Amino acid sequence: MKKTSRIISTIFVPPSFTILWFTWYGLFNEMNPEKQSATIVVAIIFGFILHILSFIYFRKKGMIADIDASVKEERTQPYLVSILFYLAGFLVLSYYDVDIISRAFWFCYITNTILITIINKHWKISAHAMGSAGPLAALFFVIGFNALYFIPVIIFIGYSRILLKCHNFPQVAAGVLTGFISTYIQMWIFILLS
């Protein structure tokens, strides 16, 4: 079970969902080819590649002790760097004037990372759980209750984090609830104000 949990935990790092969600949304909901490409390329570069490279950098420099970033205090700097990547991605998406849903959800990445950084100062909430529940909320926002078919994925991810002793149940549950509620409310407000 631990080997399976490690595979799930590694495949479904939070940046993975960025590529999956924005590729799906870009391909099927963005009609303009230039905007479609911008949506997908920004997700790949600013939502995945730069995050993975920065994590590798922090690991090589010894600023993160292990692959799970188990030490709560070591997570702050990577989170702050992630905020900069998300901000840059948001500016590019805004420049290309991509679909409002894409911009709203990308904005959530900025604010949710700020939120997890603040929470992390006091308590080690699960970034994996937040990183999977946020895209579920965005999917729910777009397609409604059909998105709930993806709940088992979140359960597997949460269980794998608990089994690997990276988090306990309250940290995973809080990550899921915070990621889902925060994303859904922010998307609704963002679109309402736009």
pLDDT of residue 194: 84
Continuous H helices in the chain = 2-11, 14-29, 33-44, 50-60, 76-95, 100-120, 127-143, 151-163, 169-193
DSSP 44: H
Which are the contacts of 164, defined by CB distance < 8 A and separation ≥ 6? 2, 5, 6, 9, 68
- Tens digit of each residue's pLDDT (9 = 90 or more) over 21-77: 999 999 999 999 999 999 999 999 999 999 999 999 999 999 998 888 888 999 999
Kindly report the average pLDDT of the chain as a whole number: 95
- Tens digit of each residue's pLDDT (9 = 90 or more) over 102-135: 999 999 999 999 999 999 999 999 999 999 999 9
Residue written as token pair 């939502």: 47
- Indicate the SS3 state at residue 147: helix
Nearest to 171 by CA among 72, 59, 83: 72
**Cα 117 from Cα 127, distance rounded (Å):** 10
pLDDT band at 2 (very low <50, low <70, confident <90, very high): confident
For residue 175, the one-letter residue type is G
